[in-house]
Amino acid sequence: RKEVEQDPGPFNVPEGATVAFNCTYSNSASQSFFWYRQDCRKEPKLLMSVYSSGNEDGRFTAQLNRASQYISLLIRDSKLSDSATYLCVVNVALSARQLTFGSGTQLTVLP
Partner 1 sequence: DAGITQSPRHKVTETGTPVTLRCHQTENHRYMYWYRQDPGHGLRLIHYSYGVKDTDKGEVSDGYSVSRSKTEDFLLTLESATSSQTSVYFCAISDPFPRTGGRDTEAFFGQGTRLTVV
Q: Which residues bind partner 1 (CB under 8 A)?
A: 32, 34, 41-46, 49, 87, 91, 94, 96-104
Short-list 62, 107, 58, CA closest to 80:
107
Q: With b meaning 16 or more CB within 10 Å and e meaning fewer, what string describes 40-66?
A: eeeebeebbebeeeeeeeeebbbbbee
Nearest distance from C-beta of residue 45 to partner 1, angstroms: 7
Nearer Cβ to partner 1 (9/69):
9
Nearer Cβ to partner 1 (45/59):
45
Nearer Cβ to partner 1 (34/82):
34
Long-range contacts of 93-97 (CB under 8 A, 24+ apart): 93/29, 94/31, 94/32
Nearest distance from C-beta of residue 104 to partner 1, angstroms: 5
Nearer Cβ to partner 1 (34/78):
34
Nearest distance from C-beta of residue 99 to partner 1, angstroms: 6
